[in-house]
Amino acid sequence: FCCQSFHFSFLFVVVVENLLVGSSLPDPSMSNTKKYKLGVGYNIFDGEELLQHSIYSIRGVVDYVCVVYQTISNFGIKCSKGLETNLQKMKEMGLIDELIFYTPTSRFTDKEKLELVSPDVKEEEIGGSLLTISPQFFNEIKKREIGRQACISAGCTHFMTMDADEFYHQSDLKKAIEKMVENSYDVTACRMRTFYHSAEYELLPPDNINAVIVVCDLRTKQPLRMAAPGYPVLVDPTRRPNKFTNFHLFPRNELEMYHFTLVRLNIRSKLENVSNRGNYVTDVDSFVRKFERWEPGLPLVHPHRNLSSFFQEVKKVPNWFEIPDFQVKKSFCHFCSLRPPSPSTPLSRCSKCKKVWYCGRECQKKDWMYHKIDCK
């Protein structure tokens, strides 16, 4: 997630179905005796093709997963045809505990805005008055706060707010939260690693300017509030607990967030619906053409105006989380974007055009009203 400055004076630059998948297996060292109950609230509109794998990366550590989703974006664009099917399947698989539907609005009253913004925010930090903050940011923080409240209702002591393109190595996450509990940290953060085009290409140099809030202690009863001040590192203004007393930034050798922000089935949807789209290229068609044609050895094309000059190269890395190559259609269902139930269960190909694959007849039937236009 790359947060627009909301006209902020500062710049936020950003740099279970198949349990046989190695990265999704619970760590055998994880004890059942815990001093915490960890909940996660996902904020979803698109990018759902990554959600299954993101949950796999943490499910062995977390106790409760809720997804706060919307079917119309903050800019009035409809979600993908398979979003709700995708989410319902993951709930049936046990990856998701609760689905919460959210309807965005562009008409927040001044009272509603005041309730979502930190009372201690400084006007110079948001570049003016409360009225200058665009509605999409209020929708975003409201969804994250709904996720936090759901985790409280589920009896959680600790909370993470995440997007579908965010991943952690669960053994590192387990050690991090144990350290958090042991040292009574109430808010923790870490640095990020950013990936490009596929899960096997990492952007360099590493971003050591920005950080991401990882886990918050719910027992402090601090709601998420826009642009809450006092944080010692640059973090997304929509993820900040209003106050903290013992903040901790994990060093890279202890915990990192793996950010697959440009690894997408539909990169266009990201650019058209990301909250801070004002920071991105305006000629989306031109970028998409260049991005889809990119291959190692060609110059990088990055859609974020500032990050396009920050990142200089890519490095080939392992596909740690076994994320499918979204350019290879037979690696995921054309309708719901999920992978097959197991490596031994192949997807079924459309018998007419032989160009798309499905995880089952149900998805193929639901997709026919769309696919029949292109099926030749």
What six digits make up the tokens of 98? 């609760």
Read off the DSSP letter of residue 289.
H
Q: How many C-beta atoms lie closer than 10 Å to residue 97's C-beta? A: 17
Give the global pTM: 0.82
Share of the chain above pLDDT 90, in %: 59
Helices (H), 12-134: 48-58, 83-93, 110-116, 123-126
What six digits make up the tokens of 88? 């319902």
Q: What is the pLDDT of residues 271-302, one digit of tens each?
A: 888 877 666 666 788 888 888 889 999 989 88
CATH class of 22-259: alpha beta
What six digits make up the tokens of 322? 């076994």
Residue 90, classified by CB atoms within 10 Å of its CB into exposed (0-12), middle (13-18) or buried (19+), is buried
* Calpha distance 174→133 (Å, rounded): 36
What six digits make up the tokens of 54? 């993101």
Q: Pick the residue with more confidence: 121 or 353?
A: 121
* Calpha distance 77→75 (Å, rounded): 6
The single residue listed with the structure tokens 């309730």 is: 115
Q: How many C-beta atoms lie closer than 10 Å to residue 353's C-beta? A: 12
Q: How many C-beta atoms lie closer than 10 Å to residue 343's C-beta? A: 10
What six digits make up the tokens of 306? 């500032």
Q: What is the pLDDT of residues 133-169, one digit of tens each?
A: 889 999 999 999 999 999 999 999 999 999 999 999 9
Contact 41, 160 (CB under 8 A): yes
Question: How far is it between the farthest Cα atoms of the chain?
Answer: 62
Q: What is the pLDDT of residues 304-358, one digit of tens each?
A: 867 777 889 999 999 999 998 876 555 667 667 676 655 556 667 677 776 676 7
For 180, the 3-state DSSP assignment is helix
What six digits make up the tokens of 213? 């809030």
Q: Within the chain, which residue ranges are assigned CATH 3.90.550?
A: 22-259
| Prior bond of 205 cis (ω within 30°) | yes
Helix axes 48-58, 83-93, angle to 10 degrees: 20
Residue 124, classified by CB atoms within 10 Å of its CB into exposed (0-12), middle (13-18) or buried (19+), is exposed
Give residue 231's pLDDT.
96
